[in-house]
Amino acid sequence: MTRAGFDIADGDDGGATLRLTGDWTTTGIDRDAQRLDRSLAGRRIAVLDLSEMGRFDTSGALAVFLAGGQNGLPHDAWAARPEAGRIYAMVEKLERESAMPPLRADAFTRAFAKVGRGVHDIADEMTLSMAFLGRLIVATGSALKHPGRIRWPAWFSQGERAGLDAIPIIAVTNFFIGAVIAFLGANLLTQFGAAVFTVQLVAVSVLREFAVVITSVLLAGRSASSFAAEIGSMKMNQEVDAMQVMGVNPFQALVIPRLAAMVVMLPLLTFVGIISGLLGGLLVTWSELSYGPSFFVQRILEDPMMDQHLFVGMVKAPVFAVVIAAIGCRQGLSVGGDVESLGGRVTAAVVQAIFAIIFLDAVFAMIFLELDL
């Protein structure tokens, strides 16, 4: 290997003659590229002498281009070494077509841009959600109009997975929620000599709010994510597209069974949560306040408002079920072709479902307040 070198001679016409010697390769250039750049500063290459140049690769071509080739070389500069000319032409094209990296905006501008993108994404999500809701209504109407086309095995399978398999976690969580409420009530109400109202506190909070909300939140994390992951993986594997090619409506095959399972199972799971929450409150009042089970049950049955509280809690369950199933399935159908999209949609399904549950619960609270229920 011969080390690269060069000589520069100024011509009468203001141009310079550049004579390259040695190997202008990655291992042969060393620091000659920087010296060449400094030596040719402000000069125009009029003649390129390649008579003593050895090997030549893309590193040499880039050095020549950055040093003086940006201002242009003679049209016959590479006539003596056409193979080197081809390498140089390739490097020149890539360098001229490569764009400069965009300037990074200041922090203030980036903050406003992020807010703008967030608003745009929210608008897109709302538009897609409304389109999905319209397709869901049409598919539901078609299923009710043609019950013979319903895939009952899929309905029962989804009901078992979304409902029956969730009973243990629903029961245990609501049990401890009821116990915590009873602990707080016993501690606070005893200070005012009203410990007996701990029973009403537990019953009202569990019947009206906590049972249905806790159950819905648990199913949002359990079932909404499951729906999004299952349908999303099918979307990634193009199974949904294959269904459409075969004439199968993805909404009838994938969305409606999950929606029906949630609508049927969430009220039942809410009732299980109510029983578990009351049982947790009963055990705490029995152990802390010495109120026996018969007293606990009697206080609940004697209160004429308990039926109303139970009605308020159970009315929310089907609405929350529709929201959980619809959000999970919509996010699943919106998955792209990569794993990152799947993970993002699963996360979005859980977050949106929980947010929707809390928001709708607040809306229901205002409605029932106006109705004096």
Task: Provide the pLDDT for residue 101.
Answer: 62
The winner for highest mean pLDDT among 127-131, 248-252, 320-324 is: 320-324
pTM over 0.85: no
Residue 193: left if φ>0, alpha if ψ -120 to 50, beta else—which one?
Answer: left
Q: Give the C-alpha separation, 24 to 31, whole Å.
A: 11
Given a cut of 80, is residue 313 above it in pLDDT? Answer: yes
Average pLDDT, the chain: 82
Counting residues of the chain whose pLDDT is more than 90, the rounded percentage is 14
Say whether pLDDT at 99 is over 60: no
Long-range contact pairs involving 133-139 (C-beta distance under 8 Å, separation at least 24): 133/326, 135/251, 136/251, 136/255, 136/259, 136/326, 138/251, 139/249, 139/251, 139/252, 139/255, 139/256
Q: Describe the strand order of the beta sheet including 44-56 as a list of residue ranges.
A: 5-10, 15-24, 44-56
Judge whether 160 and 258 are in contact, CB under 8 Å.
no
For residue 1, is pLDDT > 70?
A: no
State the Cα–Cα distance between residues 278 and 273, nearest whole angstrom. 8
Percent of the chain with pLDDT over 70: 94
Q: Which residue has the tokens 């078992």?
A: 160
- pLDDT tens readout for residues 108-124: 888 888 888 888 888 88
Decide: residue 370, CB within 10 A, 0-12 exposed, 13-18 middle, 19+ buried.
exposed
Is 340 within 8 Å of 237 (Cβ atoms)? Answer: no
31, 25, 38: which is closest to 84 by C-alpha?
25
pLDDT of residue 5 exceeding 80:
no
Higher-pLDDT residue of 80 and 40 is: 80
